[in-house]
Structure 1
Amino acid sequence: MVECSDGSLYTGYTTDVERRLEEHNAGQGAKYTRGRIPVKLRHQESFKNRSQAQKREYEIKQLPRRKKEELID
């Protein structure tokens, strides 16, 4: 999960966190983050396969902001 320059939170999955952060900050990441750079990594989790990562991504996206902030803390 990254925090955008406007304070919003963006959740996604990747196999390479550092590369993905660089892409986001170069304006080449997700459409949502392009106008909200720079972004900062605020939370990450690791999984054995993409399926598990996608399921967790969906779960996090369904959480209210307060619960996402609890993950960050």
Structure 2
Amino acid sequence: MRNRTGVEGFSPWDLNNLQDCFDAILDASRLDKSSEEADEVAQALILAYKNGVRDRDELIRIAAPVKWKDG
């Protein structure tokens, strides 16, 4: 989606999808939304989405904190 300046942005559907993934990761990993790790999760989600990843499970796998992935 492009805005009036020609810069690509996120649609409401995109934002809902990203928020759902973000919330799922934070709930599962028990991270606080204001933590530095939560910021890193958000950045990873946005980067993956900008690179074309749309599958919810794949977004969560990519953006999950390393220590959560390690168990």
User: Which has the greater radius of gyration?
Assistant: 2
Which has a greater percent of helix? Answer: 2
Which has a greater percent of strand? Answer: 1
Give the TM-score range, shorter chain. 0.3 to 0.5
Q: Per chain length, whose mean CA-contact separation is higher, i.e. which structure has more relative contact order (CA < 8 Å, sep 6+)? A: 1
TM-score, length-normalised on structure 1? 0.34
TM-score, length-normalised on structure 2? 0.35
